[in-house]
Amino acid sequence: MEAANSSFPKDLEPGYRVDGSCWRFIRVVSDGLFSEPGEHMFRHTLVVLQLQLAIIFILATIIHLLLRRFHLPRLLSEVLAGLILGPTVLGRFFPKISDILFSQQSLKILSELTRFGYLFFMFLIGVKMDVSLITKSGKREWTIGSIVILFPMLTIVLVAQYIGRTVDNMDIYNLEWVGLFSGTLMLTSFPVVACFLMHLKIINSELGYLALSSALISDLTSVVIINLNSYWQLVELASIRVALKSMFLCIALVVFIIAVLRPMMYWIIRRTPEGKPVRDAYVFLLVIALLLVAIVGDNVGLQYMYGPFILGLAVPTGPPLASILIEKLDTIVTGWMLPLMSTYCGYKSNLWELNRPLPASEIFVITVGFLLKTTCGFIPAICFKMPFKDATALALMLTAKGIVELGTFATNADKQSIVTQQFTLAVVVVFILAAAVPILTRKLYDPSKTYTGYQKRTILNSSTHEGLRVLVCAHRQDDALSAIKLLELSNPTKESPLSVYGLYLEALIGGSTPLLLNHQLGQKSSSDGSRWQPVIDVFNYFKSQSKKQNQVHVFTAISPPKLMHEDICWVAFDNSVALIILPFHRKWNSKGTMISDSKVLRALNCKVLNKAPCSVGVLIDRSRTRGPSILTKSSAYHVCVIYLGGKDDREALALAQRMRGWPSVFLTVVRFIASNDCYQQGWEMMLDNECLRDVKHQSKNNGNVSYKEEMVTDGADTSWLVGSLLEENYDLFLVGRHSRTNSPVISGLSEWIELPELGPIGDLLASSEVTNPISAVVVQHQIIEGECESTLTGF
């Protein structure tokens, strides 16, 4: 809006008074090509803000493209972008450009935008936290989490302030900064540790669970300490009456959140139909509540971000409410608003200021403080008999620094008389730790080696007395039913029992804390358990039907899909499982029509095949029978083993031999032999002949077992023979994933393979051209140390 007097100068800034009569306001938007002649586009605040955002994100993205090959977090790229655009580079060498792009007026707008984004970020932190993780934490987590925050924070802050007062001769304002600087660097922030573990892809590992639990305990403890310290400062600066009044109002706000807003959230959940998203009106209502809580909290004595954080903790974990809040807010907050905070911190820093001598108190915090905090994480871990490297990696994880520390420095810098040198030093310390800790942790801890097989865990090596241990993975009830039908065929007896570990897999939505629940221990999540109860019922039914010869244990894993394979591998490793059964990523209905083809599940299966600590079977279920049982006294069930040779085929044959005890199961082993006699030699052939000797003997004495051989010249013959077998009356096929290398039996098939993770024969059985209601299990033998191979590129 402009005043009526058109003779006003064109270059007046907003708020300037002309002749003492009226104001001239400059619009925040520009008319672009239709602007008045001589009008400067940078006079419009929205144009400047848009240009600033574009430059910031383009520059940060370019830097990240260069740094990501070193596995460094994006936070470093954003801080570097701020350093380049700030007084360190642009302001020093191109001051005129810097004054135009980042004027003092535009910086105020950018600063408020970062604070606004940080407010929503603290809310999302609370939403993603599962406070019930504290109740599941044991003595080890409580000990490490408490020591790593209490001792360093209390010791370093007091000593640093004493050095600042006696050695550096600081005034009260600088002493407050030293307290903030030392206390912030001694923090263990849960969201920083969670993002760090996600970046390294170890959040689902055993060490990742320990680090998350310890960080959550440390973070909530630090919140209590910081707020108690703020009340103590009120007592010193004002009076006990003021401090008690502030404490009472803060407690009243927390009680209001718990007693009023949290029941309102459950009311919203009850009004949301199952499987449907929460209405947008309810989301807007919670956003309004978030802003009101922030305003009230800031006025009653809480820092403006703690009110939203407590409100986020009150949101029930998981769908539908927490998931929709994260879905609506996470992208714009963590992808747009939050990176501005790290870039803004880099902009406010000036590396040239570090040429001057640093205060002794801050040098003490950087050196002794870091060593003490690392030691406080390392010693308790060693006392709990953790390996040296794992204990060191855990201590480093709990010293990780990131966006929370930068946000704390930025939000407090304007409140205190902070010189540029002090703020720059704080940003540089966070930058160095954010860069060094991931590199050191990656060198110390390699989760892939946790599952590498030194001990043989296969079907072939499972003793008859101990029985077979099987891990069944299920994403829905149909997956569990299909696997139970297969396990029913394995003929468990008292002499050869079957131990089944059922694992229901659920994608983590609305949280940053993955969970692994053991239902035998009565563990429960704060989210609704009705989603996994149908799967649990299937396993319980299987247990009830088999009585004593079967042991059934059920788990639930809630984790990000990209890291779900870690849960599968860990449960298999921890329970000495010999076989993992994975559901195929394609599903068919009762009419034989494919109804789903999930790329996410396919990627998950490929990762498990690469990292599993035991043998793996991918179950392809096209059967059109419904119900948990397929074996009856009157019906016959025909099983066919396609045997080409190799360790995977021998493992598939071992699984088939466990089925021959059922009177209604008819087993057929078809061996494909290359017509080239020169190939029929070597150690692998001797092992194949030894495994087939028992089958040949049984085929002569047992009418339920048959053995035959087929001569083939190349892959075309093999493909034709497999097609002919599919036309016969078989219900289940068992095949190995890989046959012997360079075998003429499969020559040429690899050129037409669609699903490399199934191997050439498994790919034929999973083909969309197959219409018969057959099932198939593609078996991979355990990968021994040094034999790791990639199943599929692109995942």
- List the structure tokens of 347: 């902009």
Judge whether 410 and 338 are in contact, CB under 8 Å. no
Kindly state the tokens that stand for 294: 């922030």
Is residue 457 within 8 Å of 577, Cβ to Cβ? yes
Instruction: Find the helix or strand (DSSP H, E) in which 734 lies.
Output: strand 732-736
Packing angle of the helix pair 104-128, 45-67 (nearest 10 deg): 60
Q: What residues are paired with 734 via a beta bridge?
A: 641, 777
Largest Cα–Cα distance of the chain, in whole Å? 115
How do the domains of the chain map onto residue ranges?
119-444, 450-616, 633-782
Question: Which positions of the chain have pLDDT values less than 50?
Answer: 1-21, 453-454, 521-528, 677, 679, 786, 788-795
Cα Rg of the chain (Å, integer) = 32
Q: Which residue shows structure tokens 């060191």?
A: 392
Neighbours of 233 (CB within 10 A): 13
Name the amino acid, one letter, at 149.
I
- Which DSSP symbol is given to 368? I
Nearest to 424 by CA among 345, 344, 357: 345
Per-residue pLDDT of 118-152, as tens digits, reads 888 888 888 877 776 666 677 888 899 889 888 88
Residue 631: its pLDDT value, please? Answer: 53
* pLDDT given at position 39: 59
CATH number of this structure's domain 119-444, picked from the four choices 2.60.120.260, 1.10.132.20, 3.40.50.1000, 1.20.1530.10? 1.20.1530.10
The residue type of 87 is P
Query: Nearest to residue 489, comparing CAs of 326, 719, 274, 657?
Result: 657
Which whole-number Å values give the CA distances from 22 to 2, 468, 684, in the listed order? Answer: 10, 89, 96
Residue type, 14: P
Cα gap 88→638, rounded to integer Å:
76
Quick one: fold of 633-782? Rossmann fold (3.40.50)
Distance, C-alpha 615 to centroid of its chain = 25
Query: What pLDDT, on a 0 to 100 scale, did the predictor assign at position 581?
Result: 93
> CB–CB of 309/407 below 8 Å?
no
Q: What is the per-residue pLDDT across 216-235, written as a single tens digit (0 to 9) for each? A: 888 888 888 877 777 777 77
At residue 547, the pLDDT reads: 61
Q: How far is CA 726 from CA 191, 362, 587, 774, in A?
A: 53, 75, 19, 8
Structure tokens at 417: 């008389």
Residue 780 is inside which H or E element, if any?
Answer: strand 775-780
How far apart CA 549 and CA 535 sit, in angstroms, is 21
Name, in order, each residue with C-beta under 8 angstroms of 584's C-beta and a sequence gap of 6 or more: 605, 618, 619, 620, 621, 766
Predicted confidence at residue 59, as pLDDT, reads 92
Closest CA relative to residue 225, chosen from 281, 314, 172, 150: 150
Q: What DSSP line would sit under 411-446, residue for residue?
A: HHHTTTT--HHHHHHHHHHHHHHHHHHHHHHHHH--
pLDDT at 582: 94
Give the pLDDT score at 760.
87
Same CATH topology for 450-616 and 633-782: the answer is: yes
Contacts of 293 by beta carbon, 8 Å cutoff, 6+ apart: 253, 257, 261, 307, 308, 310, 311
C-alpha distances in Å from residue 318, one per residue of 9, 129, 524, 559: 58, 10, 13, 11
Say how many residues make up the chain.
795
Provide the token pair at 374. 């690392």
Find the distance separating the first CA and the last CA of the chain, reported in whole Å: 55
Alpha helices in 715-784 (DSSP H): 715-726, 759-765
Query: H or E segment at 638?
Result: strand 637-643
**Residues in a beta bridge with 503:** 473, 555
Q: Which residues contact 33 (CB under 8 A, 6 or more apart)?
A: none
CA 669, 673, 678 angle in degrees (round to 5)? 150
CA pair distance 648, 643, nearest whole angstrom:
9
Report CA-CA distances (Å) from 698 to 48, 519, 524, 664, 669. Answer: 83, 42, 49, 16, 11
| Overall CATH class of domain 450-616 | alpha beta
Give the DSSP letter string of 48-110. Answer: HHHHHHHHHHHHHHHHHHHHGGGT--HHHHHHHHHHHHSTTTHHHH-HHHHHHHS-HHHHHHH
- Rounded Cα gap, residues 8 and 14, in angstroms: 12
Tokens of 562: 């990209």
Contact predicate 452/785, CB 8 Å: yes
Q: Which of 535, 529, 466, 528 is nearest to 496 (CA)?
A: 466
Burial class (CB in 10 A: 0-12, 13-18, 19+), 367: exposed
SS3 469: strand
